[in-house]
Amino acid sequence: MEKPEVVKTHLRDMVILPEMVGSMVGVYNGKTFNQVEIKPEMCGHYLGSSPSPTSQSSTVVPVSVRRHSSRFIPLK
């Protein structure tokens, strides 16, 4: 069984139609294209509402930046 061809689109507000069931769509999220396989239960929903893999950024904030209230303490 061969895989269907991926169609890339920026249209996140496009409604999923029954003719699209079984196809693969690459939906642009602003940075990359996320591949979504269209299933029958997705009919009537938007392409952008399908769950996409998101990752939490693990940004480490230095202690000196977190405590900016200490800038307003008078020294004398």
Question: pTM for the whole thing?
Answer: 0.62
Residue 12 has pLDDT above 80, yes or no: yes
pLDDT higher for 68 or 18? 18
Instruction: Give the pLDDT score at 20.
Output: 93
Asked, for residue 37, whether it belongs to a domain, the answer is: yes
Distances (CA, A) of 74 to 36, 58, 66, 68, 70: 57, 34, 19, 13, 9
Domains identified in the chain, total number: 1
Q: What is the CATH number of the domain that holds 35?
A: 3.30.860.10
Give the residue numbers spanning the domain of 22.
1-52
Residue 56 has pLDDT above 50, yes or no: no
Asked, for residue 67, whether it belongs to a domain, the answer is: no
